[in-house]
């Protein structure tokens, strides 16, 4: 067997194992947790109360161990994504650097300082994070395919569905996508709003190069990407009608979030909208307990602080109005209630700057 097929097999195995973890193991854990609560005559309402019951279950320990170690195996070791792309760097970067060198839709800032919270953690268990190696964007793009597998569902429509929901409220002419990564969250705006100007910013040069190359390949000419810090992006006041982000707010410390929200307010035209897709609305304490555990096991230390923040109060204190915070259904393909699988608590967070 060649190294290539071993890599493919290992990654397919990890994806299948994640599917097992997401569905059967999770369902089993939920059932055993319910039985244990009934046997003890308790109805936990807080995370510590849930932990007192769940952490004693063997199935929970297995669930937690598998969650962490599948993610480590996905990125690290001989058949991990980081190693694979490092080995193939010459070949895969030729295309990317060539496209980045020629494209006018990309502005990099090699002098931009990476914040300390950002360099301190190997986010998602990705060695070196999404920024420190030239191949990091490709690793992240590949890894994102198996973040939350749900057998039978296409996860490809999450960003498109989010964009559609925003556009139900009007068609902005100037859009800023904060922390755009490799452009997966930016591209639907560019394709659905051909008349608009779309900007994506991120700290990670390897991701931005990939975003610019993906946009060029898709023939999208109304979108550009820049290496900027979302807490100090440097655009003029009132430059945008829509400021958005996807899976960003939970990746920053609360004091950085405070600055990001101030910037959203400053950058919006009066009457403009700010809409984020993140993890905040949790229907029950068991979901919250697993979400906090996910943050620890996936190296995402700011998931819990965001989930515990009084978001409506925080947004109102910044001056935002028309605040809407509601669960967001990630797919139309699958009846998630019937599947009873582990899912992220996707939340649609929308607010407006007063007109
Ligand atoms: C989970 S990714 C989301 C990427 C993209 N929005 C998507 O939905 O695929 C979070 C992104 O936040 C970026 N990031 C973290 N802190 C940032 C900051 N202060 N300014 C800009 N980007 C930041 C990371 O580099 C990473 O690309």
CATH number at residue 266: 3.40.50.150
* Domain's final residue, options 79, 114, 142: 79
pLDDT at site 152: 52
Of 79, 104, 124, which residue constitutes the final position of a domain?
79
Does ligand 1 lie within 6 Å of residue 118's CB atom?
yes
For residue 3, report the distance from its CA to the centre of ligand 1, in Å.
32
- Predicted local distance difference test score (pLDDT) of residue 308: 98
| Contact by Cβ (8 Å): 289, 50 | yes
Question: Residue 242: CB within 6 Å of ligand 1?
Answer: no
Q: Mean pLDDT throughout 250-275?
A: 98
Regarding whether 160 and 73 lie in a shared domain, the answer is no
Residues 278 and 167 in one domain: yes
Alpha carbon of 91 to ligand 1 centroid (Å): 26
Tell whether ligand 1 has an atom less than 6 A from the beta carbon of residue 17.
no
- Residues 173 and 297 grouped into a single domain: yes
Inform me whether the pLDDT recorded for 215 exceeds 60.
yes
**Is residue 121 included in any domain, yes or no?**
no
**Residue 46: pLDDT over 80:** yes
Expressed as residue numbers, the domain containing 288 is 155-179+230-352
The answer on 160 and 68 residing in a single domain is no
pLDDT value of residue 222: 97
Atom of ligand 1 nearest to the CA of 248: 10
Domain count, the chain: 2
161 and 306: one domain? Answer: yes
pLDDT score recorded for residue 150: 63
Tell whether ligand 1 has an atom less than 6 A from the beta carbon of residue 353.
Answer: no
Testing ligand 1's pocket by substitution, the residue of 132, 146, 179, 183 carrying the most ligand atoms inside 8 A of its CB is 179
At residue 101 the predicted structure's pLDDT band, cuts being 50, 70 and 90, is: low
Closest ligand 1 atom to residue 144 Cα is 9
| Mean pLDDT to the nearest integer, 327-342 | 79
The two tokens of residue 60 are 């929970």
Residue 282 near ligand 1, beta carbon < 6 Å = no
**In which band, very low, low, confident or very high, does the pLDDT at 156 lie, cut at 50, 70 and 90?**
low
pLDDT reading at 4 higher than 80: no
**Reported confidence tier of residue 2, pLDDT bands at 50, 70, 90:** low
- Is the distance from the beta carbon of residue 184 to the nearest atom of ligand 1 less than 6 Å? yes
Q: Indicate whether 24 belongs to any domain.
A: yes
Please tell me the distance between residue 296's alpha carbon and the centre of ligand 1 in angstroms: 18
**In a 10 Å sphere around its CB, with 0-12 CB exposed, 13-18 middle and 19+ buried, how is residue 219 labelled?**
exposed
In a domain, 193, yes or no: no
State the average pLDDT over residues 180-201: 97
User: Measured from the CB, is residue 185 less than 6 Å from ligand 1?
Assistant: yes
Q: Is residue 93 part of a domain?
A: no
CA of 207 to the centre of ligand 1 (A): 9
Residue 167 domain-assigned? yes
Residue 39 shares a structural domain with residue 159 = no
Domain's final residue, options 57, 79, 101: 79
Average pLDDT over residues 325-332: 88
Ligand 1 pocket test: which of 202, 302, 349 has the largest number of ligand atoms within 8 Å of its C-beta?
Answer: 202
The pLDDT of 315-336, averaged and rounded, is: 89
Using the predicted structure, report yes or no on whether residue 338 has a pLDDT greater than 80.
no
The answer to whether residue 109 scores a pLDDT higher than 70 is yes
Of all residues in the chain, what percent carry a pLDDT higher than 90? 85
**Ligand 1 atom 10, closest CA:** 248
Question: Atom 27 of ligand 1 has which residue's CA nearest to it?
Answer: 181
Cα torsion 230, 236, 237, 238: sign: negative
Please state the rounded mean pLDDT for residues 287-300: 97
Domain contains 258: yes
Predicted pLDDT of residue 155: 58
Asked if 343 and 148 count as a contact pair (C-beta separation under 8 A), the reply is yes
Q: For residue 273, is it within any domain?
A: yes
Q: What is the mean pLDDT of the chain?
A: 93
Task: Tell whether the model's pLDDT for residue 151 goes beyond 70.
Answer: no
Flag whether 213 is in a domain: no
Closest C-alpha to ligand 1, atom 7: 185
Is pLDDT of 336 > 60?
Answer: yes
Task: Output the pLDDT for position 100.
Answer: 66
- The CB of 207 under 6 Å from ligand 1? The reply is yes
Judgement on whether residues 169 and 299 belong to the same structural domain of the protein: yes
Tokens of 118: 């950002």
């Amino acid at each position: 067997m060649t190294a290539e097929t071993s890599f493919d097999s290992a990654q397919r195995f990890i994806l299948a194992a994640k599917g097992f973890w997401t569905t059967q193991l999770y369902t089993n854990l939920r059932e055993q947790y319910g039985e244990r609560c009934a046997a003890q005559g308790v109805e936990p309402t807080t995370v510590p109360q849930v932990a007192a019951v769940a952490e004693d279950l063997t199935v929970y320990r297995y669930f937690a161990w598998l969650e962490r170690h599948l993610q480590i195996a996905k990125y690290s070791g001989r058949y991990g994504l980081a190693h694979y792309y490092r080995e193939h760097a010459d070949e895969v970067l030729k295309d990317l650097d060539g496209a980045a060198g020629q494209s006018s839709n990309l502005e990099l800032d090699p002098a931009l300082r990476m914040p300390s919270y950002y360099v301190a953690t190997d986010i998602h268990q990705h060695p070196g994070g999404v920024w420190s190696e030239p191949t990091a964007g490709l690793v992240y793009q590949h890894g994102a395919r198996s973040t939350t597998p749900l057998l039978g569902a296409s996860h490809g429509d999450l960003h498109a569905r989010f964009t559609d929901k925003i556009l139900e409220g009007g068609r902005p002419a100037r859009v800023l996508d904060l922390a755009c990564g490799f452009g997966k969250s930016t591209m639907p705006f560019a394709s659905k709003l051909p008349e608009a100007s779309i900007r994506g910013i991120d700290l990670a040069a390897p991701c931005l190069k990939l975003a610019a190359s993906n946009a060029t390949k898709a023939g999208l000419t109304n979108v550009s990407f820049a290496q900027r810090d979302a807490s100090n992006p440097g655009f003029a006041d009132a430059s945008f009608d829509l400021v958005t982000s996807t899976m960003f707010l939970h990746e920053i410390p609360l004091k950085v979030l405070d600055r990001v929200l101030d910037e959203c307010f400053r950058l919006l035209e009066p009457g403009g909208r700010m809409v984020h897709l993140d993890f905040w609305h949790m229907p029950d304490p068991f979901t919250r307990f697993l979400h906090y555990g996910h943050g620890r096991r996936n190296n995402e230390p700011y998931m819990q602080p965001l989930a515990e923040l009084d978001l409506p109060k925080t947004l109102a204190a910044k001056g935002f109005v028309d605040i809407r915070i509601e669960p967001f259904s990630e797919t139309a393909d699958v009846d998630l209630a019937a599947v009873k699988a582990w899912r992220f608590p996707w939340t649609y967070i929308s607010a407006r700057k007063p007109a």
